[in-house]
Amino acid sequence: MPSSPRHRSSGSSHARLASALIAASALAVACGSDSGTSADLTTTIGTAAQATTIPTTAATPSTTTTTDTAVAVDATGDLSAGFAMATWSDDITITIENGTMRYVSNGIPNHDRDAEYAVPTAGVMVPDASSAVATADPTTAQTYDYTISLTPTMANTPTSTSLGVIGVMISGASLFNPYEGDGATVATQSNFSVKNAAGDDVWFLDDCGGHPTPMGQYHYHKLPVCVTATIDEADGASHILGIAFDGFPIYGDRDIDGNQLTAADLDECNGITSPTPEFPEGVYHYVLLDVAESTSSIRCFSGEVDESLMSSAMPGMGGGAGGMPGGPPPTT
């Protein structure tokens, strides 16, 4: 894809979360109450019209750290305090309590999008330059309301991710697996452009690794570099990008020391157990890569996942059957 600037839609231009409040919230969770029982904390961040409320109930964690203010795995495996530290968009409502997180969002990311996208013509499941047209950004509001466990459990056998939403992100948008509507074609490998009426190139995937379905559901297929650019320092450690439906966190492609991770460092589901800024004692987490390969996104869930959270077909991408698999099964 070219590196030259693109025409951008007006999109959303939202204020960032107040980092001092996030830090204070996470530290209070990490310290717990004086009696040693669970601490209840409510923090409201954002404007009066766009507030993010994070009521958090978390048991006192077993470790602390002086970097990034807090650590977040308690003796029961509850990841609540770590997720409370994430930089959630102020258009998202996050409620963390009793070992779960409720995530409510309209699905529209808090970053600029392209003014136009290459959108498949009706009935096309896997488009290319001959079966797509330049269309004004069709992104529309969604209704995301998910409750996800924050005490994830590793499964005996990984579960292939389905098409559609497999996780939700701090930007307000969703994450899809690496594949297009046929469950086999890798989106980042098959990226292409078409010409618009002015003769300009219009791309299938934007520079952030995302795009809308024809019905308007914006989502990522790889590392959203426009998001990491706002939460990570250059060559520094990756911070929480989102949460997968099995409850494990999603990160960018830098380890705790800022070293670049590759697919060779990860398991078959794009996961790894290692320290992170929010979990310096180590946590299993997924890593998104900025690559044109099937390792760009999560291919399978390593943890046990609530089937009610699993999406059906990819919306608006050729009308595939519900429950259609999202790629080859795990190799274990």
Note the pLDDT tens digit of each residue in 214-255: 999 999 999 999 999 999 999 999 999 999 999 999 999 999
Q: Which of 23-27, 101-105, 131-135, 300-304 has the lowest mean pLDDT?
A: 23-27
Q: Residue 314 pLDDT more than 90?
A: no
Write down the pLDDT at residue 276: 97
**What does the alpha-carbon distance between residue 164 and residue 236 come to, in Å, rounded to a whole number?**
31
Contacts of 320 (CB under 8 A, 6+ apart): 125, 163, 181, 182, 183, 313, 314
Claim: this prediction has a pTM higher than 0.85: no
Average of per-residue pLDDT across 51-63:
34
Cβ neighbours of residue 297 closer than 8 Å, sequence gap 6 or more? 166, 175, 176, 177, 178, 220, 221, 222, 270, 288
- The fraction of the chain above a pLDDT of 70, given in percent, is 70
What kind and span of H or E run contains 25?
Answer: helix 19-31
Quick one: pLDDT at residue 6?
Answer: 54
Residue 279: per-residue pLDDT? 96
Q: What is the mean pLDDT of residues 26-52?
A: 33
CA distance 92 to 112: 17
Tell me the per-residue pLDDT of 178-205, one tens digit each, with 9 for 90 and over: 999 889 999 999 999 999 999 999 999 9
Helix/strand/coil for 21: helix
Can you tell me the distance from the alpha carbon of 56 to that of 41, in angstroms, rounded to the nearest whole number? 5
| β-bridge pairing 167-169 and 174-175 | antiparallel
pLDDT of residue 36 exceeding 70, the answer is: no
The span from the CA of 250 to the CA of 231, in Å, is: 13
Query: In this predicted structure, what is the pLDDT of residue 208?
Result: 96
- Is the pLDDT at 54 greater than 50, yes or no? no
pLDDT band at 9, cuts 50/70/90? low
Tokens of 259: 């070293």
What's the pLDDT band for 14 if we cut at 50, 70, 90?
A: very low
Any residues with CB less than 8 A from the CB of 31 and at least 6 apart, and which? Answer: 39, 60, 64
Average confidence (pLDDT) over 205-220:
95
pLDDT number for residue 155:
95
pLDDT at 139: 97
DSSP sequence for 249-317: EEE-SB-TT-PBP-GGGS-TTSEEEE--SS-TT-EEEEE---SSSGGGS--EEEE---GGGS--SPTTS
CB atoms within 10 A of CB 99: 18
Q: What is the 3-state secondary structure (H, E, C) of 85-145?
A: CCCCCCCCEEEEECCEEEEEECCCCCCCCECEEEEECCCCCCCCCCCEEEEECCCCCCCEE
Percent of the chain whose predicted confidence (pLDDT) is above 90: 65
- Pair 257, 233: CB distance under 8 Å: no
CB half-sphere exposure, 216, CA atoms < 13 A = 10
Q: Decide: residue 211, CB within 10 A, 0-12 exposed, 13-18 middle, 19+ buried.
A: buried
CA–CA distance, 246 with 241 (Å, rounded to integer):
15
Mean pLDDT of the chain: 78
Classify residue 257 by burial, with Cβ atoms within 10 Å: 0-12, 13-18, 19+.
exposed
Residue 24 has pLDDT above 70, yes or no: no
Q: Residue 102: is its pLDDT beyond 60?
A: yes
pLDDT at 170 over 50: yes
pLDDT at 21: 36
Average pLDDT over residues 31-38: 32
pLDDT, greater one: 58 or 145:
145
The pLDDT of residue 30 is 32
Q: Hunting for tokens 């013509």 — which residue is that? A: 121
- The pLDDT of residue 76 is 59
